[in-house]
Amino acid sequence: MDLINNLVFTALNSVGGFGPLQQNFFPTPPALTGPPQPTNLGGVIAYNITAIEEFCALDDPGVIEDSIEKHWADMVIRQNYTVPGGDIVTTFVGAAGQRIPPYHLIYAYLVENTRAAQIFEKLVFLYLHDEKLRKATTPNRLAFQWIMNTENLFFKHLANNSYRNIASNIRSSIDATRRNAYYRLLGMDLAFGDANANAPVPFIKAEFNNQPFIILFEKFLTEIWMAYTNARNQVGSNTTDMFSIVDTAQKIQEMLMSRRTTDADFTNYRYFNLSKEEYASVVMMSWFYEAVSYDSPVVEFLRCNGNTPGERLINIGNKVGLPAHSKSEGLLDIAPVMNTLLRRIELGDYNLPNEANVRRIIEAQSPALTPAADPDELQALSDILSIINNWEKATGHRIKNPEANITGTVKVQQNGVGAKLPPVMN
C-alpha cells in the first residue's frame, strides 16, 4: 500500500499491541468503522476511495497526526500490517534479506519539484483570506475539511515532540530543511525559489553532499537502456556491460548510504541522518499527490478536473495564480517508481553478487532469454523503462543515446532568476 493507505490502516487497526486511534468529541464516520480492511482492487491492495476521503477529512486532525507518528513507529520496528489472507509488507525486503522502510527522499523531491507544496499553500492562503475560490459549503464538506486539515498538518508549527518536526531555532524554515536534505542526499536543489518573487531560498549547502549523483544515475540508466535494447535485438554486436551496470549501482548505493550512516544495513534506520527529514517530506508530498491523483473533492471543488495528476496540478496552479512546473506530468509519473528503484539500489539489489538477478530484470521481456520471468522482474523492468522515458522528458538529457554528453548539470533557471546554485531537475 502507499503511504496514505498505510496511515488509514494504522489509524483504524490494532498494530504491534497498540489499538486504533479515536477522535476526540466527534463520531467516527461510517465509512471508517468496522474496522475496515483494505481490499485487492485490481491487483493493488488499498482502501476504497470513500474511506480515503473520509480519513483525510476527519474533524479531528490530531488523529491524522497520531497516525503519522504511529506509522513511523510501525515502520522503523518493521511491523507488517495483517489483513485477511496475509500481511501487507510495510518494508522492502532485499536480496540479502534486509528489511528497509519503503519511503525514499527522491519521491518527495520529485513531487515538490512540481511546485505542489507552494501551490497548495497558496490555495489554503486564498481560501482562508478571501472568497475568490468560492465557499466549500455543505456539499463540499470533504474539500472544506481537507483544506483545514492541510493547514493544521503542514502549515503550522508542530509540537516539540512530533516525530516529523524538522524545524527549530536552529532550523528555522521547514522549506530550507527539505532543500538541505535534497542537496545532501541527491546533490540537487528545487527548480524554483520562494512563492512570491521567485527569489532564491537560502539554505545550508552542506560541504558533504552528493552532487555527483546525477552523473552516476544517468550513467546507470544509459547502461540499462543499452542492455535492454541488446536483449530485444539479437542482430548485431552486443555492447552490454553487466559489470559496469552493477558497479555503477554499487557506487550509487555507497554514495547514498554515506550520507545516512556508517552501518552496513538498515536495522537502525530510525537513528540515521536524514531519516526523519525523509519521512516528514514524503508524508507531506504524499498528501498532495493523493489530492491530484484523481478528481478528488478538492479538485472538484476548485473545478480543476483533469485526466492526469499533472494536468490537475497545473489547473490548480493556474487557478491560484502560481504556475506549476511545466514538466509536472513527467515528475509525478516518475516519483513512485524512482522511489522504489533508489530504495532497491540502497538495499544492494543491483550490486554484485546479484548480477544474474539484474540480467533477468533487463531481459524480462525477452522470452527466449528469460522464459521464466516472474511478475516482479517484469514490473522492475517496466519501472526502469518508465524512469528512462520520464527522466528524458524532465531533464532534456538523452538517456537512450549512448553518445549523449551527460554532465549532470541542467542549464536552466533554478531557485530564483540568475542564481548560481546546485543542479536541479527542470
Per-residue pLDDT at 95: 56
420 pLDDT tier (thresholds 50, 70, 90): very low
Tens-digit pLDDT profile for residues 140-157 = 999 999 999 999 999 988
pTM of the predicted protein model: 0.91
Per-residue pLDDT at 416: 46
Tens-digit pLDDT profile for residues 309-318 = 999 999 999 9
Q: Check whether 77 has a pLDDT greater than 80.
A: yes
Tens-digit pLDDT profile for residues 316-334 = 999 999 999 999 999 999 9
Tens-digit pLDDT profile for residues 346-372 = 988 898 888 888 988 998 887 665 556
Which set of grid coordinates corresponds to residue 281?
A: 517530506
* Chain mean pLDDT for the chain: 86
Per-residue pLDDT at 408: 47
CA distance 283 to 157: 16
CA distance 122 to 265: 41
Say which residues have a Cβ less than 8 Å from residue 80's Cβ, sequence separation at least 6: 87, 88, 89, 90, 91
Q: Check whether 22 has a pLDDT greater than 70.
A: yes
CB distance 113 to 191 below 8 Å:
yes
Give 336 or 394, the one with higher predicted confidence. Answer: 336
Question: What's the average model confidence in pLDDT over 3-11?
Answer: 94
Give 80 or 204, the one with higher predicted confidence. Answer: 204
Measure Cα distances from 303 to 128, 315, 325 in Å.
18, 9, 20
Which set of grid coordinates corresponds to residue 215?
A: 552523473
CB distance 91 to 43 below 8 Å:
no
Cα 66 to chain centroid, rounded: 21
**Angle formed by the axes of helices 275-292 and 174-186, nearest 10°:** 110
Q: Which residue ranges make up each domain of the chain?
A: 3-90, 105-209+271-328, 213-267+337-395
Per-residue pLDDT at 199: 83
